[in-house]
Amino acid sequence: MGHKIAVYGASGHTGRFVLAELEKRGFPALPFGRAQATADDPAALDRALTGADAVINTAGPFAVTGLPLLAAAERAGIPYVDVAAEIEANADTLARGASVPAVPAMAFFGGLADLLVTTAMGDWTTADSAHVAYGLSGWQPTAGTLTAGAVSHDRRAGQRVRFRDGALRYHSDSPPTLDWDFAGGRRPVIGEFSMADIVTIPSHLAIPAVTSYMSTSAAQGLSGGPERREPETFEVDVRVRRGDEERRLTATGRDIYAVSAPLAVEAVERLLTGRFKVTGVASAGAMFDAADFLASLSDVIQATDCS
């Protein structure tokens, strides 16, 4: 194809998956990281993006790297994609806007659920609520995930966050625990386990309440534990409700970090070939044809209509 893709954080866990996906698709990669350019050095970032046709940011915390690298992409006149799962960092990016096509949270958390909910909405223009339940077989977060989570925790002074009545609401309530009927069976989940979905989904869909849930076995991994060994399997169940009606879509697959790579690289490929809807910042569901995007990744993400 000839398009050269810069990858910031290329030596990290997700960055290595992105490099492999680029190679698989025939995209030459321009890998770089903090050793070549720190986020507070615009001149170094500009040098790193010289000759690039797009950039994928895989280096968190994105509260530190996101906006500086987006600004560098603007100066270079190239599309920007990141894999941020940090709620506040994604909100900052969406609020900032951009002069180039830019997609934050183009990963397992944020992007995938946005594509699923957008597809499930179909011809609905509004809904009362959206629910995103993550059924993970386990979760051993990478060091980068834990660091990014700590940054978000500090930014909100230890409070939890939910999306209600059309806005992010910060609170100190304890999260509820309940059972969720996944297509693969019932599992206990933690309610209001807010992920990037509470930013990406309502950024373009008229849904005043968005709630995420996490299987309790996976949530325990955030408190630390053994190093990551066997990749987890996942089942993401989204339910969109309007009055007495419900639309439901489920996605299954394996390895939440590995699957972020085809999500991000597919986004870049579509941005470089004119298959996008917004010149500026937009989440996955607003930027792309959501159903077509999911169908293109059927070898790694199996989406099923369970309505």
**How far is the C-alpha of 219 from the C-alpha of 15, rounded, in Å?**
23
Residue 1: its pLDDT value, please?
Answer: 54
Q: What is the per-residue pLDDT across 248-279, written as a single tens digit (0 to 9) for each?
A: 999 999 999 999 999 999 999 999 999 999 99
Average pLDDT over residues 206-227: 82
The residue range of the domain holding 282 is: 5-107+260-288
In this predicted structure, which of 32-41, 196-205, 228-237 has the lowest mean pLDDT? Answer: 228-237
**How far is the C-alpha of 101 from the C-alpha of 278, rounded, in Å?**
7
Q: Would you say 211 and 162 are in contact if contact means Cβ atoms under 8 Å apart?
A: yes
Residue 220: its pLDDT value, please?
Answer: 77
Q: What is the per-residue pLDDT across 100-139, written as a single tens digit (0 to 9) for each?
A: 999 999 999 999 999 999 999 999 999 999 999 999 998 8
Average pLDDT over residues 8-21: 97
Q: 81 forms bridges with which residues in the sheet?
A: 56, 103
Please report the sign of the dihedral spanned by the C-alpha atoms of residue 253, residue 8, residue 70, residue 266.
negative
Residue 6: its pLDDT value, please?
Answer: 98
300 domain residue, yes or no: no
39 domain residue, yes or no: yes
Please report the sign of the dihedral spanned by the C-alpha atoms of residue 132, residue 133, residue 136, residue 142.
positive
Q: What is the per-residue pLDDT across 131-187, written as a single tens digit (0 to 9) for each?
A: 999 999 988 888 888 888 888 888 888 899 999 999 999 999 999 999 999 999 999
Q: Would you say 204 and 287 are in contact if contact means Cβ atoms under 8 Å apart?
A: no
**207 and 169 in one domain?**
yes
- Which one-letter amino acid corresponds to residue 257? Y
Residue 144: its pLDDT value, please?
Answer: 84
Closest CA to 79 of 260, 264, 272: 272
101 domain residue, yes or no: yes
**135 and 48 in one domain?**
no
**187 and 237 in one domain?**
yes
Q: Would you say 302 and 252 are in contact if contact means Cβ atoms under 8 Å apart?
A: yes
- Cβ neighbours around 68 below 10 Å, total: 17
Closest CA to 94 of 286, 265, 288: 286
304 domain residue, yes or no: no
Q: What is the per-residue pLDDT across 218-241, written as a single tens digit (0 to 9) for each?
A: 887 665 555 556 789 999 999 999
**How far is the C-alpha of 7 from the C-alpha of 16, rounded, in Å?**
9
Residue 224: its pLDDT value, please?
Answer: 56
Query: Which stretches of 163-305 are DSSP H helices?
Result: 197-200, 216-219, 260-272, 284-287, 290-296
The helix (run of H) or strand (run of E) holding residue 49 is none
Residue 250: its pLDDT value, please?
Answer: 97
The CATH number of the domain where 201 resides is what? 3.30.360.10
**191 and 271 in one domain?**
no
Structural domain count of the chain: 2
**139 and 92 in one domain?**
no
**264 and 249 in one domain?**
no
Q: Is there a cis peptide before residue 188, judged by omega within 30 degrees of 0? A: no
Confidence tier at 301 by pLDDT (50, 70, 90): very high
**134 and 81 in one domain?**
no
Q: What is the dihedral of CA 31, 36, 42, 48, to 10 degrees?
A: -40
Both tokens of 264, joined, read 């991000």
Q: Tokens 């990406």 sit at which residue?
A: 200
